[in-house]
């Protein structure tokens, strides 16, 4: 049997990138997957690719009514929800001085408020049943900072803290809440110009593994947290970053290749 056999899962931002990799992997491991996204064509194509164990639902993570409709479709299609992956997110490169309040708020609404609404509404269903797993996709930028990413940093640090508060409130009710912190991943967000992998990797010389990450590598971490294999993890944070958070890797220092 698969690691998520017959578990009903919602993946937000599931139409492409890390979300799509997660949907494919979860379905391959036996899950019933609801792909939630605003990208209609990509989402429908992915659901058709996966087959009968997947549904696509157009969904705005910032809208509470949309969440209620998503939950209703998931339950009517497959049954009670076992897993929620709050993956939907947006990125904005602007200095603080250049960022308008509305732009800052939009990043918070998608990355943080969307996570809050999903955790609250789906979590309520899970706590009624006394079991479930919620995986919140934060970022390495929820553990450090970067110039030009103030709104994104703020949102992802907040997701990290929110996850721990949710773990404390839901853990004793049988629902585990954990966070995943990807580093640079080869997605439309991380590689918007679709550069060749070799070119992208040139920018990762300061990362111990010396390369960009793959979406499925994040998906496998979410799979572990969604499965019963992680039954005693609650409030944990797992970095999937090639060692980025260890510190900067200096070529020519002891331990570097050829030294």
Q: Could you report the per-residue pLDDT of 193-207, keeping only the tens digit for each?
A: 778 888 888 888 889
**What is the mean pLDDT of the segment spanning 251-257?**
59
> Which residues touch 147 (CB under 8 Å, ≥6 apart)?
95
Please write down the HEC assignment for all residues of the chain.
CCCCCCCEEEEECCCCHHHHHHHHHHHHCCCEEEEEECCHHHHHHHHHHHCCCEEEEECCCCCHHHHHHHHHHHHHHCCCCCEEEECCCCCCCECCCCCCHHHHHHHHHHHHHHHHHHHHHHHHHHHHHCCEEEEEECCHHHCCCCCCEHHHHHHHHHHHHHHHHHHHHHHHHCEEEEEEEECCECCCCCCCCCCCHHHHHHHHCCCCCCCCECHHHHHHHHHHHHCHHHCCCCCCEEEECCCHHHCCCCCCCCCCCCC
Range 221-245 average pLDDT = 97
**Cβ–Cβ < 8 Å for 22, 84:** no
The residue from 152, 204, 249, 250 that is catalytic is 152
- Per residue in 98-148, pLDDT tens? 999 999 999 999 999 999 999 999 999 999 999 999 999 999 999 999 999
In the chain the domains, ranked by start, together with CATH numbers, are 8-240 (3.40.50.720)
pTM: 0.94
Verify whether residue 152 is a known catalytic residue.
yes
Cβ atoms of residues 134 and 121 within 8 Å: no
Q: What is the pLDDT of residue 259?
A: 47
Compare 16 and 248 and report the one with higher pLDDT.
16
What does residue 113 show for φ and ψ, rounded to 5 degrees?
-65, -40
15 and 37 in contact (C-beta within 8 Å)? yes
Q: Residue 73 and residue 97: Cα distance in Å, rounded?
A: 42
Q: For residue 256, what are the CA distances in angstroms to 208, 211, 212? A: 9, 15, 18
Query: How many angstroms separate the CA atoms of 196 and 212, rounded?
Result: 11
Sign of the four-CA dihedral 133, 63, 49, 125: positive
Q: What is the mean pLDDT of the chain?
A: 94
- The pLDDT of 171-200, averaged and rounded, is 89
What's the pLDDT tens digit per position in 158-172?
999 999 999 999 999
């Amino acid at each position: 049997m698969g690691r998520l056999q017959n578990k009903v899962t919602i993946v937000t931002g599931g139409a492409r990138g890390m979300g799509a990799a997660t949907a494919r992997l979860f379905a391959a491991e036996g899950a019933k997957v609801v792909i939630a996204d605003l990208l209609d064509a990509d989402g429908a194509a992915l659901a058709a690719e996966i087959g009968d164990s997947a549904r696509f639902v157009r969904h705005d993570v910032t809208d509470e009514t949309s969440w209620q409709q998503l939950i209703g479709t998931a339950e009517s299609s497959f049954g009670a929800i076992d897993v929620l992956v709050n993956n939907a997110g947006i990125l904005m490169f602007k200095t603080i001085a250049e960022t308008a309040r509305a732009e800052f708020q939009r990043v918070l609404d998608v990355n943080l408020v969307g996570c809050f609404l999903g955790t609250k509404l789906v979590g309520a269903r899970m706590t009624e049943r006394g079991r479930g797993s919620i995986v919140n996709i934060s970022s390495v930028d929820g553990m450090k900072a970067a110039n030009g990413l103030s709104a994104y940093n703020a949102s992802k640090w907040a997701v990290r803290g929110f996850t721990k508060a949710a773990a404390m409130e839901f853990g004793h009710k049988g629902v585990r809440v954990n966070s995943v912190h990807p580093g640079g991943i080869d997605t439309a967000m991380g590689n918007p110009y679709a550069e060749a992998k070799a070119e992208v990797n040139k920018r990762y010389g300061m990362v111990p593994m010396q390369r960009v990450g793959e979406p499925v590598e994040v998906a496998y971490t979410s799979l572990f947290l969604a499965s019963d294999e992680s039954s005693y993890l609650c409030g944990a944070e797992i970095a999937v970053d090639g060692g980025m958070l260890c510190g900067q890797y200096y070529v020519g220092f002891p331990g570097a290749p050829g030294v």
